């Protein structure tokens, strides 16, 4: 098995950036993943869970220049945080702040800030369940590392175990609990009625025999949450790396 794709989300809740490699930080997070985030006056992250306007915003990144184009307006990620916040404030109709965390980013799961892993057959299976194309499934579930595998949901067998990707040791913690975001069109925010309930029903019905049942207190879970130890800091995950599971 090999890594077939790596996705980063430099600004939390916005579009992904496909990259050929990503460096591991001492925290176990990937460099530039969810490094920046918009926060409202109540201290809440601005994301697709609470602001429908987010879905229509297109972000295109140039990490070499450390720039982002927001619907075509180009900003320096290093120098123009206040200008980015002003742009979002105008779009959302309320004041927001642009925050940066270069050490761990702003992951949803602070206990498992490592990259999320999913197999390509799993994405294809979910696409078939809901008559979506694979690209849309990728946009909705926002995973970091995609790898080939012999069957759908192969990543479930990683739960609670350590494995290697290239020369990086990774520990899989549990199947990732999902939020409302995957139930919405990634470009428009339109809700797919009954998505979460149907996903859980299908996931339970097709749960592989090798999946650890203890990791499923409910079945609206998809992809693997991970941790990477500080001793792996500075190493690089690359497209084409072997995924080695004992």
Instruction: Please count the structural domains in the chain.
Output: 2
* Residue 54 sits in the same domain as residue 139: no
User: Which of 84, 100, 116 is the endpoint of a domain?
Assistant: 100
Residue 108 pLDDT: 87
* Residue 139 sits in the same domain as residue 208: yes
* Residue 183 sits in the same domain as residue 117: yes
With cut-offs at 50, 70 and 90, classify the pLDDT of residue 246.
confident
* Residue 142 sits in the same domain as residue 235: yes
Residue-range definition of the domain harbouring residue 88: 36-100
Per-residue pLDDT of 194-213, as tens digits, reads 999 999 999 999 999 999 98
* Residue 45 sits in the same domain as residue 141: no
Residue 171 pLDDT: 97
User: Which of 56, 82, 100 is the endpoint of a domain?
Assistant: 100
Residue 214 pLDDT: 86
- Check pLDDT > 90 for residue 146: yes
Q: In angstroms, rounded to a whole number, what is the distance separating the alpha carbons of residues 186 and 70?
A: 16
* Residue 125 sits in the same domain as residue 212: yes
* Residue 140 sits in the same domain as residue 219: yes
* Residue 209 sits in the same domain as residue 119: yes
The DSSP 8-state label assigned to residue 192 in this structure reads: -
Strand partners, 119: 147
- Average pLDDT of span 101-114: 93
* Residue 141 sits in the same domain as residue 197: yes
Q: Is the dihedral of CA 42, 43, 47, 53 positive or negative?
A: positive
- Check pLDDT > 90 for residue 215: no
* Residue 113 sits in the same domain as residue 175: yes
Arithmetic mean of pLDDT over the chain: 96
**Secondary structure in 3-state letters for 7-52:** EECCECCCCCEEECEEEECCCCCECCCCCEEEEECCCCECCCCCCH
* Cβ contact 193:57 at 8 Å: no
- 197: domain CATH number is 2.40.33
- Check pLDDT > 90 for residue 109: no
Per-residue pLDDT of 17-76, as tens digits, reads 999 999 999 999 999 999 999 999 999 999 999 999 999 999 999 999 999 999 999 999
User: C-alpha 164: how far from its chain's center?
Assistant: 20
User: Which of 56, 78, 100 is the endpoint of a domain?
Assistant: 100
Per-residue pLDDT of 163-189, as tens digits, reads 999 999 999 999 999 999 999 999 999
With cut-offs at 50, 70 and 90, classify the pLDDT of residue 153.
very high
* Residue 80 sits in the same domain as residue 131: no
* Residue 115 sits in the same domain as residue 211: yes
């Amino acid at each position: 098995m090999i890594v077939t794709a790596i996705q980063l989300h430099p600004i939390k809740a916005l579009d992904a950036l496909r990259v050929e490699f990503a460096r591991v930080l001492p925290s176990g997070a990937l460099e530039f993943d969810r490094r920046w985030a918009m926060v409202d006056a109540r201290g809440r992250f601005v994301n697709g869970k609470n602001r429908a306007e987010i879905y229509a915003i297109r972000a295109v990144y140039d990490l070499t220049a450390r720039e982002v184009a927001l619907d075509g307006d180009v900003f320096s990620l290093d120098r123009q945080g206040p200008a980015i916040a002003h742009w979002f404030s105008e779009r959302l109709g309320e004041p927001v702040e642009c925050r940066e965390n270069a050490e761990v980013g702003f992951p949803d799961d602070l206990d498992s800030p490592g990259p999320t892993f999913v197999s390509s057959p799993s994405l294809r299976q979910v696409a078939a369940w809901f008559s979506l194309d694979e690209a849309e499934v990728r946009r909705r579930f926002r995973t970091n590392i995609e790898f080939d595998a012999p069957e759908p949901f192969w990543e479930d067998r990683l739960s609670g175990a350590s494995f290697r990707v290239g020369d990086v040791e990774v520990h899989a913690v549990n199947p990732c609990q999902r939020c409302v975001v995957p139930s919405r069109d990634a470009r428009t925010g339109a809700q797919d009625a009954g998505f979460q309930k149907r996903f859980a029903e299908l996931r339970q019905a097709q749960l592989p025999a090798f999946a650890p049942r203890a990791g499923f207190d409910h079945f609206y879970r998809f992809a693997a949450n991970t941790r990477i130890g500080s001793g792996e800091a500075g190493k690089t995950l690359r497209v084409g790396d072997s995924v080695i599971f004992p």
